[in-house]
Amino acid sequence: MIGERRILAKTTIYIILIIFTVFTAFPYFWMVLTSFRYRDDIFSTGLRLFSKPLTLENYLVVFSRSVIPKSFFNSVVILAGTVILQISTSALAAYSLARGKFPGVRLLILVFLGTMMIPEEVILLPLYLVIRTMHLLDTRIGTILALSPWGLTVYILIGFFRTIPYELEEAALINGANKLQIFRLIIIPISKPAIAAVIVFLSVAVWGHIIIPWTIIQTEGLLTVPLALKSFQRTYTMEYNLILAGATLASIPILFVFVSLKRYFIQGLVMGSLKE
């Protein structure tokens, strides 16, 4: 009787997960499929998953009549710079807070958490003024600096660093290693799953960000992929096949990042990298 209940419970869970997966993946599947359709076929009567003929013309239009392909370079540079700067600074801060025994350490952690609760619209004007004062408006560096501060990264890494046994550091100290060597040679290699999880979160957030890049970037040559896609959408308002072709291209790099880091990402979640 107990065995039958367990089988029924597992079957129910699997069915729910399958339904949830289909429900989640279907919009992306529909976007990709529509990107290969003709415009008239989209507005035809009836809901058809497959139609003939499909075409690559939409992608040819995106490559020839938009700045989306050129904007990939800007987005990749901004994403790489933001991830490197964010990880390097957040890892140092998280390690200090995770191992710190100084007064006010809990308050500092709360401050980092508090930064995640402030809407971007609130800090947009002060952020713009700071970047302008630094003479970094309409530059990739200015956009990277504006996107880099994010308290979630520090919070995730604090939780993971606290799961690392302190005995490893004590043994390294006895063998003559200093704090920086311990951090670089012991903490960072062990923390690859947590860092991979952070990179995935950062990549999704930075790649699809619109508000801050829109505030900093002022010329067409520096547009990121979301801004270029938005400009393309204004030009081809009702051409949903073209817009979805551009959106499909824009989603490929993030899928590549996730697939590349999937193993470490899952390890990071399983090992409790999201716990304080």
pLDDT for the residue 228: 94
Residue 26 amino acid letter: F
Domain definitions of the chain by residue range: 66-270
Superfamily for domain range 66-270: MetI-like (1.10.3720.10)
In whole angstroms, give the CA distance from residue 195 to residue 264: 8
pLDDT of 275: 46
Q: What is the mean pLDDT of each run of 10 residues along the chain (276 residues)?
A: 74 90 88 86 64 83 90 94 93 88 81 82 90 94 92 86 86 85 88 87 91 91 93 86 92 87 69 47
Can you give the pTM of this predicted structure?
0.85
Q: Which three-class secondary structure string do you get for 44-84?
A: CCCCCCCCCCCCCHHHHHHHHHCCHHHHHHHHHHHHHHHHH
Closest CA to 195 of 164, 226, 219: 164
Q: What is the reported pLDDT for 176?
A: 84
* Per-residue pLDDT, 225: 94
Inter-helix orientation angle 140-147/120-133, to 10°: 140
| Phi, psi for 158 (deg, rounded to 5) | -60, -45
The DSSP output letter for 44 is: S
What's the confidence (pLDDT) of residue 267?
A: 66
Query: Phi, psi (5° rounding) for residue 27?
Result: -60, -40
pLDDT at residue 268 in the model: 61
What span, in angstroms and rounded, lies between the C-alpha atoms of 266 and 260? Answer: 12
